[in-house]
């Protein structure tokens, strides 16, 4: 079990042939191991989500035995001019404080504009203290741009990436990414990067992240008050 979000040592549950119960048990243990390593006390941003996508793409390609020269590159920036394979990049379209509805859907929408208490537990390292966590949700709409040398290859990669992200929803949740919702793929276009002509499909996702803050609280002990009454 790796100790960092940058690690790519994660299991590909869909290809291990686990039953539903086996998957649930494994995810429960995986989550507990991550919490023991202290990852639960960190805030995971939208950039961390991009890194998690890099991890799951790498894992699935390893599972399928895809050679490096045929692998999908997961980049934070636009693809380089000398790209020899397919690539995906990320664009943050919009980001707002998390929105919640009360009553009918779409009515009385409120935003989480300040931190709210998430949990209070016994501090694992300091007896006599409690560990409190506050958090703020953020709603992010991102575009995943997929590039390839021809239309069919690009389309196949869109379908492949859809499946990979869906299969690893459990992994995103372990690292604090509350929701990852696929909202569709837009129209194909041709783009030119340097002398290279590529086909591009924009894939849209809604991603909910959370900024977590942890702090210790001293437990209140019994206090004896002495009151002197002067006559």
| Separation of alpha carbons 54 and 75, rounded Å | 8
Poorest-pLDDT segment among 35-39, 42-46, 199-203: 35-39
Phi, psi angle pair for 87, to nearest 5°: -150, 155
224 token code pair: 């004896």
Taking each continuous run of H as one helix and of E as one strand, the counts in the chain are 4, 9
Q: pLDDT tens digits, residue range 14-36?
A: 878 788 898 889 888 888 877 77
Average pLDDT of 130-159? 88
3-class secondary structure, 225: coil
Count other C-beta atoms under 10 Å from residue 186's C-beta.
13
Average pLDDT across the chain, whole number: 78
């Amino acid at each position: 079990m790796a100790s960092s979000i940058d690690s790519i040592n994660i299991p590909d549950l869909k290809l291990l042939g686990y039953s539903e119960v086996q998957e649930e048990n494994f995810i429960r243990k995986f989550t507990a191991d991550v919490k023991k390593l202290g990852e639960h006390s960190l805030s995971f941003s939208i950039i961390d989500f991009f890194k998690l996508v890099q991890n799951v793409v790498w894992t699935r390609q390893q599972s399928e035995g895809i050679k490096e020269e045929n692998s999908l590159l997961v980049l934070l920036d636009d693809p380089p001019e000398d790209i020899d394979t397919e690539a995906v990049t990320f664009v943050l379209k919009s980001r707002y404080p998390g929105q919640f509805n009360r009553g009918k859907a779409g009515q009385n929408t409120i935003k989480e504009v300040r931190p709210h208490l998430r949990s209070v537990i016994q501090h694992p390292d300091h007896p006599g203290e409690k560990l409190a966590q506050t958090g703020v949700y953020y709603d992010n709409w991102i575009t995943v741009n997929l590039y390839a040398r021809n239309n069919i290859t690009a389309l196949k990669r869109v379908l492949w990436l859809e499946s990979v992200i869906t299969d690893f929803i459990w992994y995103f949740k372990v690292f604090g990414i509350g929701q990852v919702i696929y909202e569709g793929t837009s129209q194909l276009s041709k783009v030119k990067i340097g002398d290279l002509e590529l086909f591009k499909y924009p894939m849209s996702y809604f991603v909910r992240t959370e900024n977590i803050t942890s702090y210790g609280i001293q437990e209140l002990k019994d206090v004896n008050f002495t009151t002197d009454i002067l006559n």
